[in-house]
Amino acid sequence: MDTYDAVIIGSGPGGEGAAMRMAKAGLKVAVVEEQPQVGGNCTHRGTIPSKALRHAIQLLADYRHHPLFEHTLSTMDITWPQLLRTSDQVIGQQVSMQHRYYTRNGVQVVHGRGRFTGSHELEVTRADGSTSNLKGKYFVIATGSRPWRPPQLDFTHPGIRDSDTLLDMDYTPRRVTIFGAGVIGCEYASIFANLDVKVNLVNTRDRLLSFLDDEVTDALSYHLRDQGVLLLHNEALDSVDMDDGEVTLTCKSGRVIRSDILLWANGRSGNTANMGLEDLGIEINKRGQIETNDRFQSSQEHIFAVGDVAGPPGLASASYDQGRFVGSYIAEGKVDWRLVDEVPTGIYTSPEISSLGRTEAELTQQNIPFEVGRAEFKNLARAQISGHTTGMLKILFHRETLELLGIHCFGQEAAEIIHIGQAIMSQSGKSNNLRYFAETTFNYPTMAEAYRVAALYGLNRLG
């Protein structure tokens, strides 16, 4: 039995962050990865392939609407499988880079599925059925999540897909129904709409992405409709029937929707099944996620959980930081830094959305006196040059202290633009101040100039 200071299960962002931090501190570390390549779902099934796919389709849409090229693409037949292959090179580069990290830092990678046979022992079963056993002083579970599948749907049928199996589809559908209008559902609605596929987006709630600022979600709804997406709110699943290559979704409201495929995007479950966790008394909630304390410890103090398997926010960026946090705690017995409370949200719809801090509704409910600074992208020279004039930057700030309270961005490169505001919001005291943007020189023309425009707009509103 091989013995390690720490054994990490899963090589996604959370596992990688923990492994690198502990290895650099001199600990003997092993990473157990079920798949034949490192990277986890983030690299192979989630973030990287879907965002590479979205980028390729966005390029195609931009060319189609550009006056110089719009006539040259009318005869091109670009298929879904061809677009999917655009992510292969990126995935290969990411896997190669991550593998080098493990090798360079002396981290042992063991491929196979891990199962606890004791509180400090893990049995790893390889693809060929052979097994090996690892002993660890500490364990970090970073196994991620998978799409939740309701039992009444037959996911072996080619017309029923989730966000994993959608990446195996070998044809381009004409009509797609997406059940679930969360982040994944909205992103794929944009992707298919930009391919000129007819999209039905079925939402179980009364508005899209209700955790975002109302103005942003209203803008997203408008632009999805403008792209031809049919939005159906407050619906619930009744039944799904498949016949002659057609999928028929019947909602409890009585609405009937027919399409070529049904993409189920309503919820995810933590990857905790058949790991022997219940035998150790580790508590798992109804979503398959491990219950942890504020140090990401399970009920077994030497077993930690990070990333999607530990619950929200379910972001690759946050998972990596959680892994580093746990790695520091294991290596040093304490952590001399804290995880930030405010994590930026990046949603890769078309256009993009990114958000940080509180919304107008939250500030109103909390009786905080605030004002709004706004910059419309259509007024920025850089947006006019690129042709991406849809969108805005919105800054919420305290009327008296000018402290930044929230930043909300909708438009091209929103997930990049948000980080400028994040850097100032993270400052303490008077450094977190709207006047920074009003009094700083920004390159011209840039999208970053939106901060200056929004700040001056906000200051003018103070009268």
Give the H or E element holding residue 421. Answer: helix 414-425
CA pair distance 262, 272, nearest whole angstrom: 26
Is residue 186 part of an annotated ligand binding site?
A: yes
* CB contact at 8 A, 145 and 167: no
Tokens of 19: 């492994």
CA pair distance 396, 360, nearest whole angstrom: 7
Tokens of 53: 């796919």
CA pair distance 165, 163, nearest whole angstrom: 6
* CB contact at 8 A, 42 and 13: yes
CA pair distance 49, 170, nearest whole angstrom: 15
Bin 71: left if φ > 0, else alpha if -120 < ψ < 50, else beta. Answer: alpha
Is residue 458 part of an annotated ligand binding site?
A: no
**Burial readout 351-384 (b: 16 or more C-beta within 10 A, e: otherwise):** bbbbbbbbbbeebeeeeeebbbbbbbbeebebbe
Is residue 51 part of an annotated ligand binding site?
A: yes
Is residue 415 part of an annotated ligand binding site?
A: no
Is residue 182 part of an annotated ligand binding site?
A: yes
Task: State the burial class of residue 164 (Cβ atoms within 10 Å of its Cβ: 0-12, 13-18, 19+).
Answer: middle
Tokens of 382: 């850089």
CA pair distance 230, 159, nearest whole angstrom: 20
Is residue 143 part of an annotated ligand binding site?
A: yes
For residue 180, give the DSSP letter.
Answer: -
Give the H or E element holding residue 145. Answer: strand 145-147
Dihedral sign, CA of 266, 268, 273, 276?
negative
Is residue 183 part of an annotated ligand binding site?
A: yes
Question: Which distant-in-sequence residues (6+ apart) come within 8 Å of 291 by Cβ?
Answer: 282, 283, 284, 285, 298, 299
* CB contact at 8 A, 98 and 91: no
CA pair distance 314, 146, nearest whole angstrom: 11
Is residue 184 part of an annotated ligand binding site?
A: yes
Is residue 181 part of an annotated ligand binding site?
A: yes
Listed residue (6, 275, 297) closest to 118, CA to CA: 275
CA pair distance 374, 326, nearest whole angstrom: 39
Q: Is 131 helix (H, G, I), strand (E, B) or coil?
A: strand
Known binding-site residue numbers for NAD(+): 180-187, 267
Residue set of the binding site: 51, 114, 143-145, 180-187, 267, 308
Residue numbering of the annotated binding site for FAD: 51, 114, 143-145, 308
